[in-house]
């Protein structure tokens, strides 16, 4: 696959440092990177190499120590906390390693939740939620609470929640880490299918070989730095 | 947001239940006390208003300077003042009774055994007094002991039990709880005084006044002109009074007899004109109207309300008010700490969830509002349950048959909790607890809202 798509993420000489006790940890050291739209991009690195930190910056839930982060055409440093929250609600979907579903909401309500944040009218919200549950194969379980679901089902709910608002970018941090290999494979297949339907940009932080095999593009990291030019699969 | 907050409250049922129950017990305790205090104040007000009305008109200056010499400070031509008040259209709609009254003091003697004692007396128009004693605005007047004068016999009166004891009337009147004096009681004076003949005031009394077969006492007082005067009072009834000081000198008599004693054959005046209103809330309105009437007619009169006349009433109200405030503060502190602790635990347990929702695009303000709402839901549930508990407690007490003796009274009456009358207090306590619970959630809510998203997501 060629890399002629418009970049949806641009990082210019981004550094990120934080204090861990009295020690300053330099998690990212001058990262410059562009990520094209509508691709399956994998950040691949051993644990502690800074891939989650990089994902957090792209997801606008953290700010760089220095450098510029542009996401979906916007420079996130220009945003207030409130504007950033609205930006995330509109443009970015998240899939977490631990699923992070809201336990007091049903499957349906969890998927509907992002649409409520963006004030989608009730009728459109219901239609979109049901369609997304249908797409991830959870129509029958829509009334259940997260604690009544298997790990694979929970991650399907998380995928549906991330995609229901048609975001520009979906960020997934180790989405298969808490799943057995068979379930993980089915989740990867589902995400691949959803991506091809929605043309959404998926960016993963992972070291799951099966997931890596699905990548359109690989970004390898070590010790907070890119160790090679982005590879196209 | 409300749906999520409500479900979160019941996520840890035991913890939330304990918090709600603590708040409920606090609210119920506060309301039960308020209901008790209100009932007590209503009983006290009913007793006070039945005996002395809401407003009393005096000659100007009497209240501050004349109470020691009521005979001199009488209202001349009081009948015209009574008619001015009674016929005023505004006051007529407000008042239940308008009646003249005479206060006096003097020395009483029992001619049968030479016992004597100072007294303080009130002279009423018996029919008006009977009407005043029917005042029962708050429905708490049943069972209250009332003084009943005899309209037919102007010489018949009522005295206190202690007064009867001093005058040696216990045996004659067959009074219970009325001990005889010890045989070895000290005797007054030296032999010269003791050798003087026993004084008998009855010779000074109006002819025929002591003809009744009921026991009588002689009441002596100075007239408004300064001359000594004496009347015979037939003791129609003995009533124990709430305070010993009052009981030992209590006399209530017919107004005509009181005027006869104070004014003799001179112009009959009265010390005051009592106005008993239909509703206590009209006191200021009636007072203002009286002031205008007296000013327009150039009458040199002043008006005092029952709170001014009976300092004890205001002190009791203030005592209950300060007790209520004190208990409210204590319960407010308990609610603050309980809800704050529960909400802090909730935040600690949901840090990951807070990070997730923030990542999904929830603003800080909404996170804060969410936890404040949860705190207020705990407050609403606790306060509402507290109101129900208070009503249950009030129903139980009101049907328990318990009795008590109100302050200033000598007789026990049924113990009631007047919760229905405390509707404003119920609303105030309900709102106060909800506000306290919401306020208690503020610090945890703020902490939740300010959590860095990345740290929250990393939290295990």
Other beta carbons within 10 angstroms of residue B414's beta carbon come to: 15
Q: Do A113 and B360 touch (CB under 8 A)?
A: yes
DSSP reduced 3-state for B18: helix
Encoding tokens for residue A103?
Answer: 């336990």
pLDDT at A1 over 70: no
- Distance from the Cα of B8 to chain A's closest Cα (Å) equals 7
Contact A217, A231 (CB under 8 A): yes
Q: What is the pLDDT of residue B210?
A: 46
Q: What is the pLDDT of residue A231?
A: 54
Cα separation, B419 vs B390, in Å, equals 8
Nearest to A184 by CA among A211, A158, A206: A211
Residues of A in contact with B459 (CB under 8 A): none
Q: What is the pLDDT of residue B208?
A: 45
DSSP reduced 3-state for B235: strand
CA B158 to chain centroid:
23
- Distance from the Cα of A186 to chain B's closest Cα (Å) equals 24
Other beta carbons within 10 angstroms of residue B444's beta carbon come to: 24
What is chain B's pLDDT, residue by residue, as a tens digit (460 residues)? 778 888 888 888 899 999 999 999 999 999 999 999 888 888 889 989 998 999 999 999 888 888 777 777 889 889 999 999 999 999 999 999 999 999 999 999 888 776 788 999 999 999 999 899 889 888 877 766 666 776 678 888 999 988 988 888 888 888 877 777 777 766 665 555 455 555 555 555 554 444 456 788 999 998 877 888 899 998 888 888 878 888 899 999 999 999 999 988 888 899 999 999 999 999 999 999 999 999 999 999 999 999 999 888 888 889 999 999 999 999 999 999 999 999 999 999 999 999 999 999 999 999 999 999 999 999 999 999 999 999 999 999 989 988 887 766 777 788 888 888 788 999 999 999 999 999 999 999 999 999 999 889 886 6
Contact B378, B23 (CB under 8 A): yes
Nearest-Cα residue of chain A relative to residue B358: A85
Q: What is the pLDDT of residue B189?
A: 59
The phi-psi region of residue B111 (left if phi > 0; otherwise alpha if psi is between -120 and 50; otherwise beta) is alpha
Any bridge partners for residue A33, and if so which? A11
Q: What is the pLDDT of residue B188?
A: 61
Contact B239, B154 (CB under 8 A): no
Q: Do A98 and B7 touch (CB under 8 A)?
A: no
Other beta carbons within 10 angstroms of residue B270's beta carbon come to: 29
3-state SS string for chain A: CCCCCCEEEEEEEEEEEEEECCEEEEEEEEEEEEEECCCEEEEECCCCCCHHHHHHHHCCCCCCCEEEEEECCEEHHHCCHHHHHHHHHHHEEEECCCCCCCCCCCHHHHHHHHHHHCCCCHHHHHHHHHHHHHHCCCHHHCCCCHHHCCHHHHHHHHHHHHHCCCCCEEEEECCCCCCCHHHHHHHHHHHHHHHHHHCCEEEEEECCHHHHCCCCEEEEEECCEECCCCEEC
- Average pLDDT of span A77-85: 89
Encoding tokens for residue A106?
Answer: 């049903």
Burial class (CB in 10 A: 0-12, 13-18, 19+), A151: middle
Nearest to A64 by CA among A92, A28, A23, A33: A28
Residues of B in contact with A113 (CB under 8 A): 360
Other beta carbons within 10 angstroms of residue B63's beta carbon come to: 17
Cα separation, B55 vs A96, in Å, equals 77
Q: What are the residues of chain A with a beta carbon less than 8 Å away from any beta carbon of chain B?
A: 56, 59, 61-62, 81-82, 85-90, 92, 94, 96, 98, 100, 102-105, 113-114, 117-118, 161
Contact A113, A161 (CB under 8 A): yes
Residues of B in contact with A90 (CB under 8 A): 361
Cα separation, B457 vs B460, in Å, equals 8
Among the partner residues A56, A96, A98, nearest to B454 by beta-carbon distance: A56
Q: Could you tell me the sign of the dihedral formed by the alpha carbons of B347, B352, B356, B361, in that order?
A: positive
pLDDT digits (tens, 9 = 90+) for A14-66: 999 988 788 888 889 988 999 988 888 988 888 888 888 899 999 999 989 99
pLDDT digits (tens, 9 = 90+) for A99-110: 889 999 999 999
Scored b (16 or more CB within 10 A) or e, B217-245 reads bbbbbbbbeeeebbbbbbbbebbbbbeee
pLDDT digits (tens, 9 = 90+) for A54-72: 999 999 999 899 999 999 8
Q: Do A88 and B352 touch (CB under 8 A)?
A: no
Cα separation, B69 vs B45, in Å, equals 27
- Average pLDDT of span A197-202: 84
Q: What is the pLDDT of residue B209?
A: 46
Encoding tokens for residue B113?
Answer: 């055994």
Q: What is the pLDDT of residue B117?
A: 87
Cα separation, B182 vs A184, in Å, equals 105
Strand ranges inside B139-193, DSSP E? 156-160
Predicted complex ipTM? 0.91
- Distance from the Cα of B367 to chain A's closest Cα (Å) equals 12
Pairwise pLDDT comparison (B294 vs A196), residue with the higher score: B294
Any bridge partners for residue A42, and if so which? A204, A218
DSSP element (H, E) containing B413: strand B413-414
């Amino acid at each position: 696959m060629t890399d002629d798509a418009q970049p949806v993420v641009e990082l210019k000489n981004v550094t990120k440092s934080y204090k861990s006790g009295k020690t300053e940890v330099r998690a990212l050291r001058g990262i410059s990177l562009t990520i094209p739209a509508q691709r399956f991009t994998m950040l691949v690195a051993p644990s502690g190499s800074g891939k989650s930190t990089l994902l957090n910056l792209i997801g606008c839930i953290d700010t760089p120590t220095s450098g510029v982060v542009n996401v979906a055409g916007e420079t996130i440093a220009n945003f207030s906390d409130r504007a950033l929250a609205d930006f995330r609600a509109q443009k970015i979907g998240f899939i977490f390693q631990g699923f992070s579903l809201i336990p007091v909401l049903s499957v349906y309500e969890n998927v509907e939740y992002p649409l409520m944040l963006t004030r989608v009218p009730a009728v459109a919200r219901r239609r979109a939620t049901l369609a997304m549950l249908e797409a991830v194969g959870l129509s029958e379980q829509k009334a259940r609470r997260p604690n009544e679901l298997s790990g694979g089902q929970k991650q399907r709910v998380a995928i549906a929640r991330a995609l229901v608002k048609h975001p520009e970018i979906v960020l997934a941090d180790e989405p298969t880490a808490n799943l057995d290999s068979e379930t993980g494979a089915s989740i990867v297949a589902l995400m691949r299918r959803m991506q091809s339907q929605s043309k959404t940009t998926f960016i993963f932080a992972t070291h799951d070989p099966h997931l890596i095999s699905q990548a359109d593009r690989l970004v390898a990291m070590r010790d907070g730095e890119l160790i090679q030019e982005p590879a196209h699969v | 947001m409300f749906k999520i907050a409500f479900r979160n409250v019941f996520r840890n049922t035991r913890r939330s239940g304990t918090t709600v129950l603590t708040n409920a017990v606090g609210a119920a305790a506060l309301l039960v006390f308020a209901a008790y205090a209100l009932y007590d104040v209503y009983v006290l007000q009913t007793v006070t208003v039945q005996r002395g009305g809401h407003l009393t008109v005096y000659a100007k200056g009497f209240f501050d300077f004349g109470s020691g010499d009521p005979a001199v400070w009488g209202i001349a031509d009081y009948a015209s003042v009574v008619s001015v008040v009674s016929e005023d259209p505004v006051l007529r709609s407000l008042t239940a009774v308008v009646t003249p009254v005479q206060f006096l003091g003097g020395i009483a003697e029992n001619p049968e055994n030479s016992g004597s004692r100072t007294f303080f007396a009130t002279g009423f128009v018996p029919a008006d007094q009977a009407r005043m004693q029917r005042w029962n605005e708050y429905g708490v007047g049943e069972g209250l002991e009332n003084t009943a004068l005899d309209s037919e016999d102007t010489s018949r009166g009522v005295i206190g039990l202690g007064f009867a004891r001093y005058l040696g009337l216990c045996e004659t009147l067959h009074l219970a709880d009325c001990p005889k004096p010890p045989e070895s009681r000290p005797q007054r004076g030296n032999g010269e005084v003791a050798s003087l003949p026993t004084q008998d005031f009855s010779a000074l009394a109006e002819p025929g006044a002591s003809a009744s077969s009921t026991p009588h006492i002689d009441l002596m007082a100075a007239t408004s002109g300064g001359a000594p005067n004496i009347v015979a009072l037939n003791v129609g009834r003995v009533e124990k009074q709430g305070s010993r000081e009052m009981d030992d000198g209590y006399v209530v008599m017919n107004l005509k007899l009181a005027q006869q004693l104070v004014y003799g054959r001179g112009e009959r005046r009265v010390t005051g004109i009592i106005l008993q209103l239909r509703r206590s809330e009209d006191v200021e309105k009636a007072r203002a109207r009286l002031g205008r009437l007296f000013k327009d007619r150039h009458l040199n009169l002043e008006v005092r309300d029952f709170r001014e006349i009976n300092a004890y009433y205001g002190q009791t109200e203030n005592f209950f008010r300060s007790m209520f405030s004190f208990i409210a503060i204590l319960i407010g502190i308990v609610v603050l700490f309980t809800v704050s602790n529960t909400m802090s635990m909730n935040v600690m347990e949901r840090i990951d969830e807070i990070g997730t929702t923030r990542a999904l695009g929830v603003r800080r303000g909404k996170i804060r509002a969410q936890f404040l709402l949860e705190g207020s839901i705990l407050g609403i549930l606790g306060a509402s349950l507290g109101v129900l508990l208070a009503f249950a407690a009030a129903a139980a007490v009101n049907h328990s048959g318990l009795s008590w003796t109100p302050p200033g009274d000598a007789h026990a009456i049924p113990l009631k909790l007047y919760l229905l009358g405390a509707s404003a207090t119920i609303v105030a306590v309900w709102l106060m607890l909800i506000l306290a619970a919401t306020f208690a959630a503020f610090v945890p809510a703020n902490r939740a809202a300010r959590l860095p998203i990345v740290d929250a997501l990393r939290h295990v």
